[in-house]
Structure 1
Amino acid sequence: MNLTFLTQLIYLTCGVVLFLLGFLIFRENTAQRLNRITGLMLFLAGLGPILGAFGLLLQQAAGSPAQIDFTFLDRLYHVWELFFPQLVLFSLVFPVEHPVLAARPRLPVLLFTPQVLHLLMSLVLPDAGSVQSLRQSLGLAQNWPVLLQPVKILLRGLAAVLEFAVTYQETFFAAINIAYVVAAVVFMQRSYFRLKNPRVRGQTRWVMWGILTSLALYALAFLIPKIFAFEVERNLAQVLTIASLLIGSGAIAWAIIRYQFLDVRFIIRRSFIYSITSGLLVGVYLLIYTKAKNVVEAVMGVNLPLLEVIFLVIAVIAFQPLLSLMEGVIERWFFKGSTDYREFLQTLSRDLLSVMNLGQLQEKITGSLRQALGLENVYLFLEDEDETAFTSIITTNGRPEETRSDVISTEVRFRRDGQFVPLLSRIESPVYSEDVQPQLTQAQEREALLRMRPKLLLPLSQHGRLVGILSVGQKLSRQPFSYEDMTLLTLLSNQATIAIENTKLYQSKLEKQRIDEELNVAREIQRMLLPRHIPAAPQCEISAINLPSLEVGGDLYDFVELPGGDFGIAIGDVAGKGVPGAILMSSLLAVFRAVAARNIKPSAVVQELNAQIARTTNPEKYATFCYAVLSPEKQQLTYTNAGHNYPILLRSNGALIELTESNLIVGVCEDMVYGEHAVAVNAGDTIVFYTDGVTEAQDENRREFDTQRLFEVIARYRHLSAEGLRNRIYEAVLQFIGDMPQSDDLTLVVVRLK
């Protein structure tokens, strides 16, 4: 096999491959401008090597180039030169269409003008001899009448210009072709640097550098020698041309196989590739077997049947593992990646399992889908926390996401009580936006839909309830969505729906855990702050109970032993539940204990307590508080009530008195002046302090326990000790609410004078 035959084979193969690629791309979507331009570019690119192969074949058949008339082939070569303006046109529409095409619709005509002129010149005046013939036919060498001398001079000048143009046409048009190549590379490179989608970047990178390298080699072999008037050795020119063809056609084929260039799919199917792999393995096996058999026969002079058995055993043992290994390599190189939709769905499913945040889930789904299908934009609308609207952040500068650096974002909301959300709730499959938009009469929703620039809308529903909306923009390649694309989107919408629901459940679980942990902390704070032991008081019985609710309120109580046998009792209820309420309670108790230890009047204690709380917290942090000082020696109860539930005084004779004197709650007004009140108490009297968790406890009919029932319980069990009365009140409340949960802390302090 000599170089000429190899060159013919490669020329012909590359030409046919380029023809087939052009046909496949053109057939994929004939209505698409990019497909038409790319298909024609590849047709013209394939014409060159086919003409080259045909020329070499004619030369080989004739035996000498001098015996062949290449005029027809030369003229066809000038047709092939139309590839260069077609390349520039391709660079203006790929990967994204350049605005200059819309601004100057006649630009394609101007691009082709030089090559068309060159083609016409090659047909009319192929060489300088044709210009001489034209001169002779016009009789420019003969004498003309005096009156026609100006015409003769003009014609001779035109003939000189034509002779110059014909003589240097190859150099001139070679320079134009190189300029076209440079312009095409510049246009594609500028578009490439603005791209963000990895798949489109991969397509553009392979196509751009493949074409650039291919044309650079071709320019070294033919164009540059024409410009600078030197010749390249024939074999070197053929090698450069072969490399140019292999790189150019190979880059485009690889972009199609690996990155689905222009969405041309299944051009090389797995079965076809695997069949070739199996055939190659069988061929290698037969070649090795034949060579080994020939060597053995040549060395030993006999035919060894044992050799066939050995090779058969080797084939049985090694063939399948080798085939599996090669198929694995092919799978990784040719079919694995984001463009393999089965692999994409599997990978996305695994990734979604680890995403437990709705924001991250939104980014993962939209980003993965945008890369897999090469889309301009993808938006996932999710429900707001109040479940009244669906919201997403969209870009609004009107340019494809993949080619901009100045992203302008805005929030778009579609309310459940609007038209858009109910309309999609009734749809179970992907729908084109142009079918939805005419049904919207609300201007705000129509405008929002236009800003989104969707091509498809996918409702994400779970058990008949809409949980999300997927807005899918058009493809960067401007190709229509295929059946495979629609299948992928349908499967993806199902996965996304499940992922959204799972994420919501997980976040609800996390929120519940957070609340539980917060409540546990609040309970622990409350437990540590409340008195662990009730101080011993010789002249009275004291019993107290605090039962935190599930939400843990801010109930508190405390006791202070004062000089002279006096005894301080404090009870309160801070605003807020959980940790915030517990923190306020701890602050209030700390201030109270510091102030009450100075043995000052109840009004002074509450007044200073109010000032401290008002200065250190905001107005939303307040508390009800009651502080009473019991003096058995004086037989007097002095108290200051700051908006707390009225204490109840049970006389030894059974009379019930509600101590209704009260003031403003603490923590609201720093300068508030609090008054105090005194009431006489005797042996056998009982004072009941309580929080609203007692009187506001509700049964299943939402009726409250109220103060009247509390009076009845106290009156019924007035003969009991302080602890006994406390227990009966608590039991009465529990019996009243039944199976209803305890909605607030329940705190009781019962003091009985001996």
Structure 2
Amino acid sequence: MNLSFFAQLIYLVCGAVLFLLGFLIFREDSTRRLNRITAIMLFLAGLGPILGAFGLLLQQAGSPAEVDFTFLNRLYNLWEFFFPQLVLFSLVFPVEHHVLKAHPRLPVLLFVPHAFHLLLSFALPDPSRLPALRQLLGLTQNWPALLQPLKILLQAMLSLLELAAAHHETHFAALNILYVLAAVAFMQHSYQRLKNPRVRAQTRWVMWGILASLALYATAFLLPKIFPFQVERELTYVLTIACLLIGAGTLAWAIIRYQFLDVRFIIRRSFVYSATSGLLVGAYLLIYNKAKSAVNSVLGLNLPLVEVIFLLIAVIAFQPLLSLIESLVERWFLSAAPDYQNFLQRLSREMLSVMNLKQLQEKVTHSLRQALGAESVYLFLEDEQQAAFTTVVAANGRPDETRSDVIHTEVRFRRDGQFVPLLARMESPVYSEDVQPQVTDAREREALGRLRPKLLLPLSRHGELVGILSVGAKQSQQPFSYEDMTLLTLLSNQATIAIENARLYQEKLAKQRIDEELNVAREIQRMLLPRQLPDSPHFDISAINLPSLEVGGDLYDFVELPAGAMGVAIGDVAGKGVPGAILMSNLLAVFRATAGRSFHPGEVVENLNAQITRATTPEKYATFCYAVLSPAENRLAYTNAGHNYPVLVRRDGLLVEFCLSDLIVGVCEDADYHEHIIGLEAGDAIVFYTDGVSEAVNQNLQEFGKDRLFEVIKAGRHDSAEGLRNRIYEAVLQFTGDMPQADDLTLVVVRMK
């Protein structure tokens, strides 16, 4: 078998393979532009080696004198339409280039030079016949002076024909090289923008395979037409064979291993295994025949021992060799195929181990984008405070942009809008074109336009929507397959469970943090409140503070003043937990530093307000009431800064409410606070309380109220301070029952002896 015959065989096989690949890609989705462009490119690529094999066959069939190769050489120029088709392919793969979007008529212009070249090759006469044509026209003879202009014109035209016939192939060879360089540049530019590893691998193999094969082709055919050197015929065969094997091989590899253009070989596993088994059997028979022939030629005998030895080798070694080859095939050709079952199992395990909702969101979107080769994947999670499902989208539309200089904005769909209730009724992945026409709200349509979804998937649990999955179109622009839809359906169940687990876990952590904060706040509050009540010969004093489930900012304090006077303070700071406790601490510190130096409640509260206002922000304020009881003067002076009105009850049942009040503490530094005087009698009882008493609620959400409080106070007017305190406390407990309360319950009772 000579090199020419081997080249002819390789030409035919590679041409057939390229035709087959083009057919498979076209059959996969003939409506898709990229598939049509790729299929035509492969058909043209396959046309070249087939025409080359046909030319070699004609050379072997007869002598060159008997075969006219002029027409065949001109027909061969059809193959050169591959080069503009290659540029067109590079403009749409792996992503459509902005040049094509800006110049939609560019594909037509790409083919104009080669169409002109094809017409020129058929229109130009054979260069060997031009001298005969010159003689036929009589241009070698003298013409009359009158016809000299015509002769000059004909000579010029014939010279142009000679020049075109001699150099047109050189010019178009250079043009083809420029086309190749442009195509590689376009693909390299698109390759740098890719993020998906599988699409990057597809593009890398296709790009470098095309570049390597065309470099060999240019060395064998194009460069010798431009530069003054020749390539030996045998080297031309070798370069062409290598070109075809690399070009067809890399495309086949990209399809089989990386699912180039999502072409799915339904029978590729059994086909590859059958092919490898056939090759193994063929190699065995070839070695057997060669060995048998060698024994016959050396010994001149037809020994059955050779057959026995090879039979034993087949029995012992065939199955292990076949298993080894199949494992290699599995590793090399089939390992990169999407294994959705393993992917789903792995992602399910990873999702269930992620307890942070943001991390879970990133895990699901990133993994799905890689597995499906999707342009974008967004997972919407519910924001209970906004009553909406939200996600974050980069301003440039790239879902995988994480750079700090990229602006990200929130996309939100409200629960009471059109989109969320519509999707909540769905039970499986739906195409966005089936949903979007039903959404008429302008904001929601604009949000869907930013997402550019292809599929929408509701994530529901027991009929309750917990999330929304938006999947963009595939980067390969292929439709979603049955396997893709099955994967998304199965994943939705796993993702729903993972979202619920993460949400419950975060709620548990939040509750633990709140509990810890409340414990700290309770401890601070306990340490700040008086540990024991003052022992006064003039007053009977009792107090109680019962923290609620949410620790409030209730406070009370006593100040023993000269001449037996007693200062009583009660207040309620804004805020719960530790922030409220800190504000309480600051307020009591300022109060204790000020109250011991003054008998005037107005002055004390005014100074307290000024310092708290300067030291805190406006949202940190407090209600506060301070009273100074003077037994020597039988009077009570008080200043109230927005607190619940204290109540005085006399022995005859008369109730007096201290209903004069000023601005709360901590809002306005220059606020004025006034002092009010109430006369006291022996046996009078003054009740200071917080809103945890009057606003305590029962199971019917009814408040205890001031009227009930006044009745209880009036009924206990003869009780001791502790007795009256207990009477009020028991009345509140009986009214509220088992209903948890949101505010602390604080009572201070002072009775004049």
Map 1:573-722; keep pairs closer than 5 Å.
Answer: 573-598=572-597, 600-631=599-630, 637-651=636-650, 657-660=656-659, 662-671=661-670, 672-682=672-682, 685-717=684-716, 721-722=720-721
Gaps of 5+ in 1: none
Question: Distance in 1 between the 2:581 and 2:205 partners?
Answer: 65
- Name the stretch that deviates more: 562-571 or 200-209: 562-571
- Partner of residue 85, structure 1: 84
Q: Deviations over 1:692-723 (max 9, x none)?
A: 21222111222222334334444555565444
- Name the stretch that deviates more: 568-577 or 722-731: 722-731
Question: Distance in 2 between the 1:284 and 1:713 partners?
Answer: 108
- Name the stretch that deviates more: 729-738 or 70-79: 70-79
| Helix, strand or coil at the partner of 2:748 | strand
- Partner of residue 110, structure 2: 111
- Name the stretch that deviates more: 349-358 or 545-554: 349-358
Cα–Cα, structure 1 residues 432 and 290, in superposed 2: closer, same or farther, change >3 Å?
A: same
Question: Distance in 2 between the 1:406 and 1:94 partners?
Answer: 28
- Partner of residue 527, structure 1: 526
Cα–Cα, structure 1 residues 161 and 343, in superposed 2: closer, same or farther, change >3 Å?
A: farther
| Pairwise CA distance, 1:356 | 4.3
Question: Distance in 1 between the 2:645 and 2:109 partners?
Answer: 97
Q: Deviations over 1:211-242 (max 9, x none)?
A: 11211122122211221121223443333323
Q: Deviations over 1:488-514 (max 9, x none)?
A: 444444444444444444443343333
- Partner of residue 301, structure 2: none
- Partner of residue 41, structure 1: 41
Question: Distance in 2 between the 1:400 and 1:489 partners?
Answer: 19
- Partner of residue 518, structure 1: 517
- Is 1:174 equivalent to 2:176 in the alignment? no
**8 Å CA contact retained: 2:376, 2:398:** no
- Partner of residue 15, structure 1: 15
**8 Å CA contact retained: 2:704, 2:732:** yes
- Is 1:552 equivalent to 2:569 in the alignment? no
Superposition CA RMSD, Å? 4.4
Question: Distance in 2 between the 1:435 and 1:239 partners?
Answer: 56
2:577 aligned partner, one-letter code: G
1:513 aligned partner, one-letter code: Q
Question: Distance in 1 between the 2:529 and 2:269 partners?
Answer: 75
| Pairwise CA distance, 1:648 | 3.8
| Helix, strand or coil at the partner of 1:82 | helix
Question: Distance in 1 between the 2:593 and 2:694 partners?
Answer: 31
Question: Distance in 2 between the 1:554 and 1:288 partners?
Answer: 96
Q: Deviations over 1:426-481 (max 9, x none)?
A: 44344444444444445555455445444444444444444444444444444334
- Partner of residue 242, structure 1: 241
| Helix, strand or coil at the partner of 2:617 | coil
Cα–Cα, structure 1 residues 305 and 412, in superposed 2: closer, same or farther, change >3 Å?
A: closer
- Partner of residue 482, structure 2: 483
| Pairwise CA distance, 1:42 | 0.8
Cα–Cα, structure 1 residues 174 and 667, in superposed 2: closer, same or farther, change >3 Å?
A: closer
**8 Å CA contact retained: 1:11, 1:242:** yes
| Pairwise CA distance, 1:166 | 1.9
Cα–Cα, structure 1 residues 663 and 277, in superposed 2: closer, same or farther, change >3 Å?
A: same
- Partner of residue 329, structure 1: 331
| Pairwise CA distance, 1:290 | 12
| Helix, strand or coil at the partner of 2:46 | helix
- Partner of residue 96, structure 2: 97
**8 Å CA contact retained: 1:125, 1:131:** no
- Name the stretch that deviates more: 281-290 or 36-45: 281-290
Cα–Cα, structure 1 residues 125 and 606, in superposed 2: closer, same or farther, change >3 Å?
A: closer
| Helix, strand or coil at the partner of 1:81 | helix
Question: Distance in 2 between the 1:37 and 1:290 partners?
Answer: 47
**8 Å CA contact retained: 1:135, 1:141:** yes
1:670 aligned partner, one-letter code: E
Question: Distance in 1 between the 2:610 and 2:32 partners?
Answer: 78
- Is 1:254 equivalent to 2:256 in the alignment? no
Question: Distance in 2 between the 1:231 and 1:310 partners?
Answer: 50
- Partner of residue 131, structure 1: 130
Cα–Cα, structure 1 residues 706 and 23, in superposed 2: closer, same or farther, change >3 Å?
A: same
Question: Distance in 2 between the 1:91 and 1:323 partners?
Answer: 36
Cα–Cα, structure 1 residues 205 and 723, in superposed 2: closer, same or farther, change >3 Å?
A: same
**8 Å CA contact retained: 1:697, 1:705:** yes
- Partner of residue 73, structure 2: 74
Question: Distance in 1 between the 2:573 and 2:541 partners?
Answer: 23
Cα–Cα, structure 1 residues 740 and 257, in superposed 2: closer, same or farther, change >3 Å?
A: same
- Partner of residue 28, structure 1: 28
2:31 aligned partner, one-letter code: A
Cα–Cα, structure 1 residues 188 and 535, in superposed 2: closer, same or farther, change >3 Å?
A: same
1:165 aligned partner, one-letter code: A
| Helix, strand or coil at the partner of 2:532 | coil
Map 1:227-306; keep pairs closer than 5 Å.
Answer: 227-266=226-265, 269-275=268-274
Question: Distance in 1 between the 2:124 and 2:667 partners?
Answer: 104
- Name the stretch that deviates more: 416-425 or 170-179: 416-425
Q: Deviations over 1:260-312 (max 9, x none)?
A: 3222123673344455566678889999999999999x9xx989999999996
**8 Å CA contact retained: 2:277, 2:322:** no
- Name the stretch that deviates more: 520-529 or 281-290: 281-290
Q: Deviations over 1:623-664 (max 9, x none)?
A: 222333445566655443333333344556766554545444
Map 1:331-480; keep pairs closer than 5 Å.
Answer: 334-336=334-336, 339-393=338-392, 412-480=411-479
**8 Å CA contact retained: 2:522, 2:547:** yes
Q: What is the aligned-residue identity percentage?
A: 72
- Partner of residue 747, structure 1: 746
Cα–Cα, structure 1 residues 348 and 138, in superposed 2: closer, same or farther, change >3 Å?
A: farther
1:50 aligned partner, one-letter code: I
**8 Å CA contact retained: 2:551, 2:744:** yes
**8 Å CA contact retained: 1:197, 1:374:** yes
| Pairwise CA distance, 1:103 | 5.7
Cα–Cα, structure 1 residues 637 and 167, in superposed 2: closer, same or farther, change >3 Å?
A: closer
| Helix, strand or coil at the partner of 1:168 | helix
Cα–Cα, structure 1 residues 565 and 512, in superposed 2: closer, same or farther, change >3 Å?
A: same
- Name the stretch that deviates more: 653-662 or 88-97: 653-662
Map 1:150-169; keep pairs closer than 5 Å.
Answer: 150-169=149-168
Question: Distance in 2 between the 1:366 and 1:726 partners?
Answer: 61
1:329 aligned partner, one-letter code: R
Question: Distance in 2 between the 1:454 and 1:427 partners?
Answer: 16
**8 Å CA contact retained: 2:637, 2:675:** no
Question: Distance in 1 between the 2:142 and 2:292 partners?
Answer: 86
Cα–Cα, structure 1 residues 35 and 516, in superposed 2: closer, same or farther, change >3 Å?
A: same
Question: Distance in 2 between the 1:50 and 1:320 partners?
Answer: 34
Question: Distance in 2 between the 1:70 and 1:721 partners?
Answer: 129
1:428 aligned partner, one-letter code: E
- Partner of residue 727, structure 1: 726
2:20 aligned partner, one-letter code: L
| Helix, strand or coil at the partner of 2:250 | helix
**8 Å CA contact retained: 2:391, 2:411:** yes
Gaps of 5+ in 2: 299-303
1:608 aligned partner, one-letter code: N
Cα–Cα, structure 1 residues 433 and 265, in superposed 2: closer, same or farther, change >3 Å?
A: same
Question: Distance in 1 between the 2:399 and 2:216 partners?
Answer: 34
Q: TM-score, structure 1 length as denominator?
A: 0.85
- Name the stretch that deviates more: 79-88 or 585-594: 79-88
| Pairwise CA distance, 1:77 | 2.8
- Name the stretch that deviates more: 212-221 or 743-752: 743-752
Question: Distance in 2 between the 1:194 and 1:535 partners?
Answer: 78
1:247 aligned partner, one-letter code: I
- Name the stretch that deviates more: 42-51 or 235-244: 235-244
Question: Distance in 2 between the 1:646 and 1:291 partners?
Answer: 116
